[in-house]
Structure 1
Amino acid sequence: MPTPRRTQKQRRDQAEAALLAAAAELVVEQGVRSLTLARVGERAGYSRGIIAHHFGSKQALLELLARTAQAGFVPGLADLPPGLDRLLRLIDGYIGELGQVGAARHAFLLLWAEAPTMPELAPIFRERDESFRADLRVEVAAGIADGTIRDDLAPEEVAPAIVGQLRGIGLQRLLDPPAVDTERLRRSVTEQWRRALATPSARQP
């Protein structure tokens, strides 16, 4: 049987995925400062014209890499309603995923660490962090509304504390993997947040 011809969208999606994978690998291997569109195209087996057509600029490439690496980081959350249980599942799952981080997520954490000193990265990661904090604020507010999270807590204060802890664990894992046992940490950190956030009636797992 002849192989069905791919549609233009399928070809574009395949090229984009290959270019993003190549960009992530190069960030991990050589750092973001040495990344160029030409090197990404060469690694992925595409011409510079193709990568310029897809992304237009290095900044656009990095922005899409950051978005795709962060999207769906913790699977299985969509089936849970917003609130304490989903928030704790996110914390547990996030730390668990750090233990098996691939090139794209490794690259995301490296880019995030570089963002404060790179003007082209700073806006991207301000937006990514605010998106993460906004999602967490929704979870905390929902938990307060349904009585599972203490009502003396402020979502806008809880959210950056959680982001800071999770990102910090991720960076430590990149620097010294043997020193950061994510399987043990995921249980203890999740329980710490349960005790800190939950109302007395919701403290039992």
Structure 2
Amino acid sequence: MERRTQQERRETTERALLTATADLVVESGLSSVTLAEVGRRAGYSRGIVTHHFGSKQALVEALVTASQAGFVPGLDDIDPGPDRLLALVEGYLGAVDGIGSLSRAFLVLWAESVASPDLGPVFRERDALFRADIAADVEAGRAAGAVRADVDPAVVAAIVLAELRGLALQYLVAPDSVDTAAAGRALREHWRAVLAP
């Protein structure tokens, strides 16, 4: 049996702790998350949770970051521009149908961030980064002549973010109410038409 490195053991432990945190958030919201309960759920002590993350706030911030990583596979392989934006729109909604507890927890926390002084800053930052990424695709498309010159990248970014997160939340609340694949295709075609020069 091959021995795992210390880094591999650390990553395994952190992944288990983040999964336990996500499961608690999805089941009962942020108020149910304590370092002791996360440790118990993951099969570790509270001390391990504190050792890896230091505080509940740091643990939740790590969960938010981890849940966004690679949500839409393959985007990094597409050059910035409208094709990447269209792939994001369709891929995001396509991924919602099969999301795991990390991504579900992200959406629950995003909704809770409206009234949480601790979560608000975290999600303002994450949303700003997401909007900046979308706006960069629009800018790249404008520069290449693939997007109309009169399109405002910041406005497109705000609307796309609202559409994606809003549809994802609707799906979490009532999965039968949203055909995410059809919505993704419809949004892709909508934005293709809106952006085309």
TM-score computed with the length of structure 2 as normaliser? 0.98
Aligned twin of 1:29: 27
TM superposition outliers: structure 1 runs of 4+ over 3 Å? none
Matched, 1:90 2:88: yes
Matched, 1:138 2:136: yes
Aligned twin of 1:173: 171
Matches within 5 A, 1:1-205: 3-199=1-197
Deviation track 1:17-48 (CA, whole Å, cap 9, x = no partner) reads 00001111111111111211110000000011
Q: What residue ranges of structure 1 are gaps of 5+ in the alignment?
A: 200-205
Percent identity over the alignment? 54
Q: Judge conservation of contact 2:20–2:41 (CA < 8 Å) in 1.
A: yes
The alpha-carbon deviation at position 154 of structure 1 amounts to 1.3
Whole-angstrom distance in 1 between the partners of 2:77 and 2:121: 31
Whole-angstrom distance in 1 between the partners of 2:196 and 2:63: 35
Aligned twin of 1:202: none
Whole-angstrom distance in 2 between the partners of 1:174 and 1:86: 25
User: What value does the CA root-mean-square deviation take over the aligned residues?
Assistant: 0.8
Three-state SS of the structure 2 residue aligned to 1:78 is helix
The alpha-carbon deviation at position 4 of structure 1 amounts to 2.1
Q: Judge conservation of contact 2:90–2:181 (CA < 8 Å) in 1.
A: no
The alpha-carbon deviation at position 8 of structure 1 amounts to 1.1
Three-state SS of the structure 2 residue aligned to 1:153 is coil
TM-score computed with the length of structure 1 as normaliser? 0.94
The residue identity in structure 2 corresponding to 1:154 is D
Deviation track 1:34-68 (CA, whole Å, cap 9, x = no partner) reads 21111000000001111000001111001010001
Three-state SS of the structure 1 residue aligned to 2:76 is coil
The alpha-carbon deviation at position 197 of structure 1 amounts to 1.1
Whole-angstrom distance in 2 between the partners of 1:198 and 1:68: 34
The alpha-carbon deviation at position 7 of structure 1 amounts to 1.3
Q: What residue ranges of structure 2 are gaps of 5+ in the alignment?
A: none
Whole-angstrom distance in 1 between the partners of 2:18 and 2:169: 21
